[in-house]
Structure 1
């Protein structure tokens, strides 16, 4: 229920923003997007290099022109399933794998530089709020590390924008703060997907 409320609020704000600028002749647009996540974290204090978790993201985006046909502001509201896997090697006993499933509501606020009619570069800050955390182990050993509630990151990527409103994109995000407390590890996510704006 909390997730639905957050998404509804975000959609309302993006729609309101787009309508305000559209009334001023700014040519703003609103759309949906989604795709795959290839998520992991930096090694930090983990003994082994963490392995990635493959999942998905989806959500809404707006585009507000700042310099027509050249530069725009692109706020987004995304539900993003992230996390990683880590192999634990105790001094005694067998090794086992722990999977961190961490879901976020992410709000990227990106500057979009258009290089021609199709190609664009996007970059800016991203603010994330953890909405779900689940730790699973293949030998039922509980891992008590806490995941921080908020995540601040830098996002950058490219998009190909086609006539009619369809687009495809690729993006990389790197956290600025640690994910699991007292480990020094930071989120790293590669995203690829499609979307449609109107």
Structure 2
């Protein structure tokens, strides 16, 4: 978690510095009438990028020696509805692959290398984000998110969501920063799940992790089209 927060801070500073550079021929937020809906914060676009997925939660430390991040991706589309030159609402629909790598325990006295098994959890996600342009071309994004688990894969084999003891519904909050240069967008955010990944049943607890939640750091690029 500390590594993710440090990486988010570095990316945020980089985005802020980049967004301060002027781009000839590109309208800025201040080119629009303030306190009206005549804002470039109206439109739609597509986006995609990198996921650094892991598990988080109260019992995460119990499995610290076995778990590691899973490097995956997300892709989707968004719409943006501006209230004025500073404030807007941005709903999105995303396909996002989460999960983790699980290192099997090595028997005492064995010289064999640890075996790593990958767990993939594919979600359809719908965040609804409050967007505030605190600088000309830099905005903060924060809001709730609902996610539906549509596919689970463990060590290369598809698994039944219910049979594996997985919750099909996840919910959480999203927060991050975004910079815009012309139609291009570059952003970084943290996707924090608040629901347990696995159901708290005796069957699930024998084979899977208990009381853990999704935690995903995302970096993305996108292209927007204003109305």
- Which TM-score bucket, shorter chain as reference? 0.7 to 0.9
Give the structure 2 partner of residue 20 of structure 1: none
Length-normalised TM-score, structure 2: 0.67
- Structure 1 unaligned residues grouped into runs of 5+: 1-23, 138-143
Gaps of 5+ in 2: 1-36, 157-162, 201-209
Please tell me whether Structure 1 or Structure 2 has the larger radius of gyration of its CA atoms.
Answer: 2
Q: Structure 2: how far apart are the matches of 1:179 and 1:167?
A: 31
CA RMSD of aligned residues (A): 2.3
Partner SS for 1:177: strand
Report the counterpart of residue 148 of structure 2 in structure 1: 129
> In the alignment, what sits opposite 1:194?
221
Q: Which moved more, 1:76-85 or 1:94-103?
A: 94-103
| Partners of 2:66 and 2:104 within 8 A in 1 | no
Task: Give the paired residue count.
Answer: 167
2:117 to 77, 98, 103: 98
Contact 1:71/1:112 (<8 A) preserved = yes
- Tell me how far apart the structure 2 counterparts of residues 44 and 151 of structure 1 sit (CA, whole Å): 21
Distance 1:168 1:148 in 2: 32
| Counterpart-to-counterpart distance in 1, 2:121 and 2:174 | 18
Q: Select 1:29's aligned residue among 43, 62, 74.
A: 43
Task: Map Cα deviations across residues 129-171 of structure 1 (whole Å, 9 max, x no partner).
Answer: 011101117xxxxxx74221011011000000122x2110001
| TM superposition shift of 1:188 | 0.5
1:51 aligns with 2:65: no
Question: 2:204 is matched with which residue?
Answer: none
* Alignment-derived partner of residue 39 in structure 1: 53
| TM-score, normalised via structure 1 length | 0.76
